[in-house]
Amino acid sequence: MCARAQPAARPPPGEAGGDALPTTPPTGGGAAAEKGSKASVAVTFLPSGATTASAAAGDNIMAVAEAAGVTIPGGCYSGSCGLCEVEVSTADACGAALADRVVQRACIAVVPAGAAFVTIAELEDDAVWGQDGWDT
């Protein structure tokens, strides 16, 4: 059985150790500074089944696919055309779903933070690409 850690309770503001959380984000660091400290995320591409364990939260989905030997069709590579749409689902280390599956454009989408497992499902080719109102 997979045990889930519960966050530690914070004392209310005004009590010892219960100071209010800061209202401004910390300065410095950012994504570039955190890049080296990100945990590995197991990414599975369907229907191919190719898996890469070297992806990190924030890595571009299309780049992760390419590194795994999976080709996701692309058109504009800027998120406009919708040709690279994939369905993304996430799970924690126990395999429990973290969120509903979402359709994202792989050329601009990134591996979600907080997931241990990510599944990227390629969508069927759209026979009326650009004409049905969903792709443009």
pLDDT band for position 60 (50/70/90)?
Answer: very high
pLDDT for the residue numbered 131: 52
Quickly name the fold that domain 39-122 has.
Ubiquitin-like (UB roll) (3.10.20)
pLDDT for the residue numbered 51: 76
CA dist., res. 67 & res. 54, Å (int):
9
More confident residue, 135 or 61: 61
Report the pLDDT averaged over residues 1-18: 51
More confident residue, 54 or 4: 54
Assess contact for 58 and 113: CB atoms under 8 A: yes
Distances (CA, A) of 45 to 21, 61, 73, 86, 118: 39, 10, 13, 10, 9
Per-residue pLDDT reduced to its tens digit, 15-46 = 554 444 333 333 333 333 344 556 889 999 99
Per-residue pLDDT reduced to its tens digit, 81-121 = 888 999 999 999 999 999 999 999 999 999 999 999 999 99
pLDDT at 53 over 90: no
pLDDT for the residue numbered 21: 36
Token pair for residue 60? 């571009």
